[in-house]
């Protein structure tokens, strides 16, 4: 796959990575994806992250990865009068139990460091290019580094 180029179907420019093509479409033509089909799924769920039956996630051809992030909204059985004055403690207990946030791993996992996607990190929007070091330490951690 080395030296492979991706052709912009709008202007014909040759772009050197899928994420570069995504950025080219977005900033040169004002779009990044084209809807080619809409297929209803058999089940209807109110979810934050899209989950595809049998896969749980999917990758778009343009290099954008959409995933089922592992987070879940759960309706709690508590009534307002039973938790009055206790919400802060409940929230802190939840945050302590679920590894999310802005922290990072102390050591980088070998598989994360060897991921081929880091090669095209420089092709991302310039606003995030300086975040590669943090991204390497957070990959696979829900952002909590745990």
pLDDT digits (tens, 9 = 90+) for 99-119: 666 666 677 777 777 888 888
Cα(115)–Cα(113) distance, rounded to whole angstroms?
Answer: 6
Mean pLDDT, residues 122-127: 81
pTM of the model as a whole:
0.34
Angle 36-20-48 (CA atoms, 0-180°, nearest 5)? 55
Cα(133)–Cα(20) distance, rounded to whole angstroms?
Answer: 20
Mean pLDDT, residues 12-30: 87
Q: CB-based contacts of 19: which residues, under 8 Å, 6+ apart?
A: 62, 63, 64, 120, 123, 124
pLDDT at 17: 87
- Phi and psi of 106, rounded to 5°? -75, -35
Is the pLDDT reported for residue 84 higher than 80?
yes
pLDDT band at 15 (very low <50, low <70, confident <90, very high): very high
> Which stretches of 1-106 are DSSP H helices?
18-24, 80-83, 87-97
Q: CB-based contacts of 8: which residues, under 8 Å, 6+ apart?
A: 14, 15, 21, 24, 25, 28, 29
Is the pLDDT reported for residue 25 higher than 90?
no
Positive or negative, the CA dihedral 58, 141, 139, 34 is positive
Cα(83)–Cα(74) distance, rounded to whole angstroms?
Answer: 16
Is the pLDDT reported for residue 69 higher than 60?
no
Q: Which residue has the higher pLDDT, 133 or 142?
A: 133
pLDDT band at 56 (very low <50, low <70, confident <90, very high): low
CA neighbor of 36 nearest in space, from 8, 19, 60: 60
pLDDT at 62: 46
pLDDT at 142: 60
């Amino acid at each position: 796959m080395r030296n492979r180029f991706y052709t912009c179907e709008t202007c014909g420019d040759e772009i050197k990575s899928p994420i570069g093509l995504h950025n080219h479409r977005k900033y040169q033509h004002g779009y990044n994806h084209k809807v080619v089909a809409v297929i209803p799924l058999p089940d209807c769920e109110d979810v934050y992250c899209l989950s595809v039956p049998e896969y749980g996630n999917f990758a778009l051809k343009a290099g954008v990865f959409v995933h089922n992030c592992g987070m879940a909204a759960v309706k709690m059985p508590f009534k307002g009068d039973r938790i009055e004055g206790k919400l802060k403690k409940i929230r802190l207990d939840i945050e302590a139990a679920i590894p999310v946030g802005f922290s990072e791993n102390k050591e980088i996992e070998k598989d994360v460091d060897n991921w081929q996607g880091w090669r095209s990190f420089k092709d991302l929007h310039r606003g995030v290019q300086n975040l590669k070091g943090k991204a390497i330490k957070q990959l696979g951690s829900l952002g909590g580094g745990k």
